[in-house]
Chains A and B, each alone.
Chain A
Amino acid sequence: MMLLFYYGGQVMVNNLSDVIYNNYGYDFFFQFDPFISGVVTIGLIFGAYMTETFRGAFLAVESGQIEAARAYGFSRFHTFRRIILPQMLRHALPGLGNNWQVLLKTTALVSIIGLTDMVRVAEEAAKAERMPFHFFIPVAFVYLSLTACSELFIRWLDKRANVGVVQGS
């Protein structure tokens, strides 16, 4: 998907600008930025996974809760903010944390579209110095510490989201 978006997207925009120039005489050019295409691609891909996570969490909220909120005259947004969101977060968090960690590690892939992220720099350094482990192991530890920190943060969020829930022993 990443190569498709980055190279295919550029070709599409070029063709589109050709068509517009030929038909309307208006010339425009738009260069795809690797960073923006990286964000859009990863966002689109993980949006699909998040959709499934959130769908499951939405369904886990009892419909009676929503009906009660509507009966009390809550607006749609208010129902979502005060009734659905606090209750669905509890069910969404495990899947969300999972997706976040996969997303974080997927960012290593953006080096294929020429963005100079950590992995790209390490790759170049490893080739120049002929010391792959010397550069890749520190990078691996950076990723590991990032995921470890987010794990702690998600555990804290999970604790907060589960306040008041009676757990069976």
Chain B
Amino acid sequence: MLDLKGYGPALLDGAVVTIELAFLSLALALLLGLVGASAKLSGSRVAVAIATSYTTLIRGVPIWL
């Protein structure tokens, strides 16, 4: 059987942190995505410029920098 050498509970706590992190980030990402998409399609020059620079900057830089 799988013997985790006493690290089992810590790993489980870590898994909970991972899941919480994933769902909270998802909520934030969905919100930002809807706002960003509306901004991009709003036709207002300022909103389009802000949303475009946001997506261009974020998508063009590696995540772990």
Contacts and interface: CB of A to CB of B under 8 A. Distances in A.
Interface of A: 1-4, 35, 38-40, 42-55, 57-59, 99-100, 103-104, 106-110, 112, 115-122, 125, 129, 135, 138-139, 142, 146
B38 to A, nearest CB: 8
B29 A46 contact: yes
Contact of B32 (A44, A110, A115, A142): A44
Contacts, number: 152
A125 B18 contact: no
Contact of B34 (A4, A54, A116): A54
10 contacts: A1-B64, A49-B29, A49-B33, A50-B36, A53-B37, A103-B26, A115-B17, A116-B13, A125-B5, A139-B11
User: What is the predominant secondary structure among interface residues of chain A facing chain B?
Assistant: helix
Given A51-B55, A121-B11, A109 B64 contact: yes
A42 B7 contact: no
Contacts of A142: 15
B14 A2 contact: no
B65 A1 contact: yes
Given A2-B65, A125-B4, A135-B4, 17 more contacts: A44-B58, A46-B26, A47-B58, A49-B59, A50-B29, A50-B36, A51-B40, A51-B54, A52-B59, A58-B41, A106-B63, A107-B22, A116-B10, A116-B13, A118-B17, A119-B18, A125-B11
Nearest to B60: A48
